[in-house]
Amino acid sequence: MAPEMSDASQFSVSSMAAQQNILRERLHRLLATLHPLLQYDVLQALKGAGKLLSQPDTEINSLAPILPAGIWPLLTLLIAQHLSPDIHPEYASSVAVAVECFVCALDLLDDVEDDDQTPIVRAIGIPRVLNVSTALLSLTHRAILSVAEQAVDPAIIIRLLNALHECTLTATSGQHRDLLAESRSARNFSHEECIEIASAKAGSIMRLACRLGAICGGADDTLCDRFSELGELLGIAHQLDNDCHDLYYLLQDEKDAVIPVEASGTTRTSIKSDLKRGKKTLPVVLAEEIMAALQKAAESSDGESKRYRKALQEGIIATWGICLLYRERARERLQEIEVQKPVSPELLFLLGI
């Protein structure tokens, strides 16, 4: 289960809030260099749900735990502090806010590329969203380069930038494959490809958040790799969890809304939204494999719509199982890391395992 604040009462909420404030203060200083008109839009993006500058959600939602804003930079910061408790706050927070800017920039690009009408897209429109994304990518670099002022070894700065570039190329490759997959039939798509795309997208970004924290905290190559793997496994698990829950809730909400659409020249029953857009998420691809097997067996007298719904439900359960598998693997990586030193309750809470 997701950690709830009550489960994580071992750690101080005020300690987490203090870390957030350090990050916010560093982020505001970074943004102060922008022209006020651009700064206004960048601030709007950074105030989006879950982002570091977002307002706390006061709505009570029993399905979602109460979460700190800015979990990505917090992860980087807490890993750096775990490895190097006396690390200079300016150094660690600069690297951490670089992660926040980077993740926000990629999120904005995703919104546009996936044609999502998110609040920021509706508020400022696509041209400004793209410009804000460019600014945030530049701020990412500026934040990392700023650590030179803390007399950080240039070799470390190059390692940080290398990790950032590696992630950028991996994530954009994953996004490109994801976009191209929209026009491919799910039947010609393997579940291995789905995992590869999840790994390249969500996996590489969480890998980066962990790796930058590890580099910043002075970890050697082996420990950096362990933290990177931990992040990647959790990123994949997170993506699969999202995919199966999105589809699950869609099915719950649309019990009688299975609609016929034309796909690949044949009538195919489908669900709205993601399915219509042709996103090849793992539960959808697994459902197609199941449908193919059922049609081959021709043993069901159910209508196609009902069979497809059943196949989707099975795909959702299988995907959730695979998500749990990745979390188990992440837990094992964490145990390897904790052989040297147990992580703080705050970090454990953020990792969610």
- Letter for the amino acid at 272? K
The correct pick among 71, 97, 143, 181 for binding other proteins (CB under 8 A) is 71
**Distance between first and last Cα of the chain:** 9
Q: How far is 350 from 251, CA to CA, in rounded Å?
A: 29
Q: Taking the complex as a whole, how short is the minimal distance between the CB of residue 265 and other proteins, in angstroms?
A: 28
The correct pick among 11, 28, 50, 193 for binding other proteins (CB under 8 A) is 50
Query: Counting contacts by CB under 8 A, is residue 63 touching other proteins?
Result: yes
CB of 91 or CB of 326, closer to other proteins: 326
Structure tokens at 76: 């980087």
CB of 156 or CB of 195, closer to other proteins: 195
Q: Taking the complex as a whole, how short is the minimal distance between the CB of residue 295 and other proteins, in angstroms?
A: 14
The correct pick among 18, 64, 169, 292 for binding other proteins (CB under 8 A) is 64
Q: List binders of other proteins among 273-292 (CB under 8 A).
A: 286, 290
Quote the DSSP letter at residue 57.
Answer: P
H-helix or E-strand spanning residue 270: strand 266-270
Q: How far is 124 from 121, CA to CA, in rounded Å?
A: 6
Q: Taking the complex as a whole, how short is the minimal distance between the CB of residue 2 and other proteins, in angstroms?
A: 5
Q: List binders of other proteins among 291-350 (CB under 8 A).
A: 293, 310, 314, 316-318, 320-325, 327-329, 332
Query: Counting contacts by CB under 8 A, is residue 11 touching other proteins?
Result: no
H-helix or E-strand spanning residue 268: strand 266-270
Query: Counting contacts by CB under 8 A, is residue 47 touching other proteins?
Result: no
Q: Taking the complex as a whole, how short is the minimal distance between the CB of residue 316 and other proteins, in angstroms?
A: 7
Burial class (CB in 10 A: 0-12, 13-18, 19+), 171: buried
Query: Counting contacts by CB under 8 A, is residue 352 touching other proteins?
Result: yes
- Write the Ramachandran bin of 23: left for phi over 0, alpha for psi from -120 to 50, otherwise beta: alpha
Q: Which residues are CB-neighbours of 281 under 8 A, at least 6 positions away? A: 194, 243, 246, 247, 274, 319
Interaction site with other proteins (CB under 8 A):
1-2, 48-51, 62-65, 67, 71, 191, 195, 202, 206, 234-235, 237-238, 241-242, 244-245, 248, 286, 290, 293, 310, 314, 316-318, 320-325, 327-329, 332, 352
